[in-house]
Amino acid sequence: MLPDKKIIADSNDRLLKSHNQHFSFLSGNISHLPSILDKLQAFQVAIPSWALGTGGTRFGRFPGGGEPRNLEEKMEDIALLHSLNRSSGAISLHIPWDIPSDYSKIKALASDYGLRFDAMNSNTFQDQAGQDLSYKFGSMQHVQKAIRKQAVDHNIEVIKYGKELGSSSLTVWLADGSCFPGQLNFRKAFQNTLESLQMVYERLPADWKMFVEYKAFEPNFYSTTIGDWGQSLLYTSKLGAKAFTLVDLGHHLPNANIEQIVSLLLMEGKLGGFHFNDSKYGDDDLTVGSIKPYQLFLIFNELVEGMDARNMNHTKDLAWMIDASHNVKDPLEDLLQSVEAIMISYAQALLVDKVKLEAARMENDVVAAQEELQNAFRTDVRPIVAEARLLSGGALDPLSIYRDQKIRQQLINTRGSEIMATGL
Ligand code: LRH
Ligand code: MN
């Protein structure tokens, strides 16, 4: 289903004149534009294998048709996104939803598509068919040693799959917690979870990372055993140098200052990466930058400042992943919009004059500091992001090609309209 290069070239030719007008207007007054373009071209966002179908809630799920029927078709869909925006060159698998049937075939497909395997995700928040023991009352926190062992063994198995595929990180998100006061001994739950994570940590290959993802609530609604960044940092500090905290933007209590959390985790060298999405209330898993675009910019501003302060490689040293659910939009259009929003916020953060900003701060010149940030945020950098795509062989306007080529209808013709992809 990949649009051939001619379709992309023809579309770009039609858009080139107006693009160059916008781009040349911008490039006129941005001295370090070449380095910004280099950084944007190198920046790759991993697409979640569980978000290529239509998502839903307990109230309903309304599949849109043409959804991927297996891992091969999920990789085909991500390759489609990557052929259009050249910034989606990685897939993050969720086990057991995406257990590869034939490793060599999947690895060959990945190299054909120019995709790499980002973090592997374990799943001890659902009971699988034929599973011996239930995770109803948690997994690694569980009062019963046998259930904790089952969860540890599952994570070790996920590492095995990842090693075969060439992944080098494991994301552990635990739904563990409690729904009512009195239900849980918080200290024992913490110690059981730490002991279990340590047993997984010991089985990590030398060059692997473990990401400990925190979440304030859902599916437990009184306490969550890895409930916020402080608790995740407590675990990752006790686990060791290969353990890092993963920030899912939707996993915070309302009005949490996520950019400050990111700044401090980065300062401590314990920030592992992100699950990008947006939300208005809870873990809404909405399109990135669709509700709080200024917050996303402020997060990238702290990321660029903090990574440069530690001479980190923007592309390689943190895990950039999307974690979204598409209840009312075409999953592929939604993902194209999410990647675009991430690239826009990154480009705007690269525009911030860090020296002028710091000078204003040293003078407590609040207005000057604010103006430095807002000038960058209010700069329409879309022509710069489009130019980076063009230089990488992508489309100036990915969404218009996806629509003009009626790709969703092509997928429905091939895959049918009833199929529902594995995932949430
Ligand atoms: C939990 C979460 C986690 C995934 C799941 C699909 O809310 O963010 O990252 O395992 O979504
Ligand atoms: Mn997540």
Residue nearest to atom 6 of ligand 1 (CA): 424
Pocket of ligand 1 (CB under 6 A): 50, 121, 173, 213, 215, 248, 275, 283, 323, 424
Residue nearest to atom 9 of ligand 1 (CA): 173
C-alpha closest to that of 248 among 222, 211, 223:
211
Which ligand has the minimum distance to the alpha carbon of residue 158? 1
Ligand 1 atom at shortest distance from the alpha carbon of 218 = 7
pLDDT in tens, 323-348: 999 999 999 999 999 999 999 999 99
CA distance 122 to 129: 16
Contact 52, 97 (CB under 8 A): no
Contact 158, 150 (CB under 8 A): no
66, 80, 52, 92 alpha-carbon torsion, rounded to 10°: 150
Q: How far is the CA of 173 from the centre of ligand 1 (A)?
A: 6
- Give the per-residue pLDDT at 419: 84
**Ligand 1, pocket-test mutation among 125, 135, 213, 274, most atoms within 8 A of CB:** 213
Residue nearest to atom 4 of ligand 1 (CA): 173
Q: How far is the CA of 95 from the centre of ligand 1 (A)?
A: 12
CA distance 299 to 317: 16
CA distance 80 to 77: 5
Q: How far is the CA of 175 from the centre of ligand 2 (A)?
A: 11
pTM of the model: 0.97
pLDDT in tens, 251-287: 999 999 999 999 999 999 999 999 999 999 999 999 9
Which residue do the tokens 């709080």 mark?
292
Give backbone dihedrals phi and psi of 272, rounded to 5 degrees, phi first.
-95, -35
Q: How far is the CA of 247 from the centre of ligand 2 (A)?
A: 8
Please list, in sequence order, all residues whose beta carbon lies within 8 angstroms of the beta carbon of residue 172, skipping any fewer than 6 positions away.
122, 155, 197, 200, 210, 211, 212, 213
- Give the per-residue pLDDT at 33: 96
- Residues forming beta bridges with residue 286, ordered by sequence position: 278
Q: How far is the CA of 120 from the centre of ligand 1 (A)?
A: 12
The amino acid at 12: N
Residue nearest to atom 7 of ligand 1 (CA): 283
Contact 263, 309 (CB under 8 A): no
Is the preceding peptide bond at 219 cis, omega within 30 degrees of 0? yes
CA distance 90 to 106: 13
pLDDT in tens, 338-380: 999 999 999 999 999 999 999 999 999 999 999 999 999 999 9
Please list, in sequence order, all residues whose beta carbon lies within 8 angstroms of the beta carbon of residue 236, skipping any fewer than 6 positions away.
210, 212, 243, 244, 245, 270, 272
% of the chain exceeding 70 in pLDDT:
100
Q: How far is the CA of 250 from the centre of ligand 2 (A)?
A: 8
Residue nearest to atom 10 of ligand 1 (CA): 173
Q: How far is the CA of 59 from the centre of ligand 2 (A)?
A: 21
Q: How far is the CA of 395 from the centre of ligand 2 (A)?
A: 29
pLDDT in tens, 180-215: 999 999 999 999 999 999 999 999 999 999 999 999
Output the CA–CA distances (angstroms, integers) from residue 413 to 65, 73, 102, 162, 243, in the order listed. Answer: 9, 14, 26, 33, 45
Rounded (10°) angle between helices 71-85 and 407-415: 170
Q: Is the pLDDT of residue 317 over 70?
A: yes
Please list, in sequence order, all residues whose beta carbon lies within 8 angstroms of the beta carbon of residue 125, skipping any fewer than 6 positions away.
135, 139, 173, 174, 175, 219
Which pair of structure tokens corresponds to residue 121? 């995700």
Q: Is the pLDDT of residue 1 over 70?
A: no
- Give the per-residue pLDDT at 349: 98
Contact 322, 335 (CB under 8 A): yes
Which ligand has the minimum distance to the alpha carbon of residue 224? 1
Residue 28: band (very low, low, confident or very high) from pLDDT cuts 50, 70, 90: confident
Q: How far is the CA of 275 from the centre of ligand 2 (A)?
A: 5
Average pLDDT, the chain: 97
pLDDT in tens, 119-167: 999 999 999 999 999 999 999 999 999 999 999 999 999 999 999 999 9
Residue nearest to atom 1 of ligand 1 (CA): 173
pLDDT in tens, 284-307: 999 999 999 999 999 999 999 999
**Ligand 1, pocket-test mutation among 98, 176, 248, most atoms within 8 A of CB:** 248
| Protein residues within 5 Å, CB atom, of ion ligand 2 | 248, 275, 323
Rounded (10°) angle between helices 258-267 and 293-309: 10
The number of CA neighbours under 13 Å toward the Cβ of 151 is 33
Q: How far is the CA of 175 from the centre of ligand 1 (A)?
A: 9
% of the chain exceeding 90 in pLDDT:
95
Ligand 1 atom at shortest distance from the alpha carbon of 423 = 6
Ligand 1 atom at shortest distance from the alpha carbon of 121 = 10
